Structure 1
Amino acid sequence: MKLLTYLKDQQYRLGIRSDKGVLDVAYFAEQLSVQDVPQTIHDVIENGASAIDALHALANQAEAAQDTLSSGWLNEEDLQFGPCVTNPGKIICVGLNYRKHAEETGSPIPGSPILFNKFNNTLAGHMEDIALPKPSEKVDYEAELTIVIGKTAKDVSKEEALDYVFGYCNANDLSARDLQMRTSQWLLGKSCDGFAPLGPYLVTADEVGDPNNLGIKAMVNGELRQNSNTNDMIFYCDEIVSYISQHLTLQPGDVILTGTPEGVVLGYPPEQQVYLKDGDVVTIEIEKLGSLTNRLVAEKN
């Protein structure tokens, strides 16, 4: 199932993407007098299989009533998307997790996952404009597969780790390289407002299948910049979830950005580095997850 959030009356609403359009969950639940249907993305994540079953049942009823309740089917082009996970308790990121990316930046292959974090101020939705922070002149793109945790995970094994995953989505781990490299800690360059757009969809794990074998791309103004596969990750998704859970408890709704492949601006020779500028459009595309697009704009005074 492909889930999404969109803004209506300044509130996030839950939608289901289908061939007929986006199903407005709240609308159909009300019109069809269906009880116990999750109303937010976090309701779905926290209740897992039972919530998905309820949404499938609602979708079936909505399809049967589509002729009389057609206004409950929305066009994606008309929506103002929110981040597909709206309020994660944790945003954990893995650095230098693709072999060719580590090589292009001249970094050694890590022996353990390199972890850092972002905060909720970095969240943004599909098609949302993202401000280029005034203190930076070197904002870079990073296509990343994102894991969304579905069950409380503490000290789980690699073998069972993916059982704790609700689903996956696209992310752009935007990075202000000059701020990131100012000190040994990366946080400043990673945590500017809007620097973690997520979406457009949160796709359930059963629909994705093997997360360690997905094509992953980034385009800037239509030009292909990154073109790889998650099988180039140094630490696969099961290893990442298991490793993090050995050190801290993961909760439903936590998100993990799993690293980026080669092709970022930082990996180019210095004389060829052209960082993102006002008006640039970045699209992150991962197999089975759709395409996440954002425009970068100059920060207003």
Structure 2
Amino acid sequence: MKVARFARNGSVSIGLVKGDGIISLSPFDKGLSDIDEVVAAEGWARAEKLMTREPDLKIGDVEFLPPLSARARVFCVGFNYKAHVDETGNEAPAYPTFFQRTHESFVGNRQLLLRPKVSERLDYEGELALIIGRTCHRVEEGRALDYVGGYTCLNEGSVRDYQKHSATGMTGKNFDSSGSIGPWIVAATDVPHPDRLALSTRLNGEVVQQASTSQLIYGLPRLISYLSSVLRLLPGDIIATGTPAGVGSRRVPPRWLRAGDRVEVEISGVGILENAVIDEPT
């Protein structure tokens, strides 16, 4: 199953993707009015009962929004593919390294990525993101995947010069509308082997990143266990698992995103996240 958050006629809704259509959830189950309620423990089971219905909307008639609830936090992992660590000239971290992104830094599928006026160094980073489905705190690695509600694609757009302004890179990671996430969340039960997914990023149709999640330095169970040892993770929280080698900043010459570029992040069994780039309006 796939659940999406979308806008139509000025109203924001949640729905299940079925073929080329969408089944709106709120008319049939008022308890599934936000996306974190669907990915929570009982949500998918309740939503599955509605999959027998015919779609009431066409995908082409809605605007996909980031699949984030207002309560969700987005935790991103840095340097989690060895080839990416190598291309940056760094050493692999002794522990997973996390930083946070704001909701405002993301757009949804086919919404526009903004290259900020203050920089010409907007870069792409294709990633697998997991969505927490059950409250978890200090969870053992062996049980960590039991707490995942679903998966989605993420482009962690990074403004590289501003990233260097702080030790955590936070300033370069949180420009408004600089990254994207979506197009939907796929139920964890439909992704039985998240450690074997093929990830590729395409820029104007050319493959610029290609890897398998089997190459992660810290796998999904380790990331969940480590982060939950620090804080209590809640349904709807998102962990972006890191980007592979091939980022634009490490190419010769560097390949920065420009207005008119189109970025696609494809993950097997999850979907394709597609966004065009424009310059920030004056």
> TM-score range with shorter-chain normalisation?
over 0.9
Q: Does 1:283 align with 2:264?
A: yes
**Secondary structure, aligned partner of 2:225:** helix
Distance 1:89 1:38 in 2: 16
Aligned length: 282
Letter in 1 for 2:47: L
Structure-2 residue corresponding to 1:227: 210
Deviation at 1:201, TM superposition (A): 1.3
Structure-2 residue corresponding to 1:24: 24
Larger CA deviation: 113-122 vs 178-187: 178-187
Structure-2 residue corresponding to 1:8: 8
Letter in 2 for 1:6: F
Counterparts in 2 of 1:88 and 1:143: CA distance versus 1, 3 Å: farther
Q: Does 1:42 align with 2:36?
A: yes
Structure-2 residue corresponding to 1:296: 277
Counterparts in 2 of 1:139 and 1:201: CA distance versus 1, 3 Å: same
The runs of 5 or more residues in structure 1 that have no matched partner are 30-34, 64-71
Distance 1:222 1:77 in 2: 22
**Secondary structure, aligned partner of 2:167:** coil
| Larger helix percent | 1
Computed over aligned residues only, the root mean square deviation of the Cα atoms, in angstroms, reads 1.5
Q: Percent identity?
A: 32
Distance 2:250 2:199 in 1: 17
Deviation at 1:37, TM superposition (A): 5.1
Larger CA deviation: 183-192 vs 164-173: 183-192
Deviation at 1:276, TM superposition (A): 0.3
The runs of 5 or more residues in structure 2 that have no matched partner are none
Q: TM-score, normalised by structure 2?
A: 0.95
Distance 1:222 1:133 in 2: 23
Structure-2 residue corresponding to 1:57: 49
Counterparts in 2 of 1:130 and 1:88: CA distance versus 1, 3 Å: farther
Structure-1 residue corresponding to 2:159: 176
Quick one: which of 171, 190, 194 aligns to 1:211?
Answer: 194
Letter in 1 for 2:43: A
**Secondary structure, aligned partner of 1:59:** coil
Deviation at 1:288, TM superposition (A): 0.7
- In our comparison, the structure showing a higher alpha carbon Rg is 1
Conserved? CA contact 1:142–1:173, under 8 Å: yes
Conserved? CA contact 1:83–1:123, under 8 Å: yes
Deviation at 1:89, TM superposition (A): 2.9
Letter in 1 for 2:78: G
Letter in 2 for 1:56: E
**Deviations along 1:183-238, whole A, 9 cap, x unmatched?**
32301100001233111010011001111110001011111101111111100000
**Secondary structure, aligned partner of 1:246:** helix
Distance 1:129 1:240 in 2: 30
Structure-2 residue corresponding to 1:161: 144
Conserved? CA contact 1:37–1:55, under 8 Å: no
Deviation at 1:84, TM superposition (A): 1.7
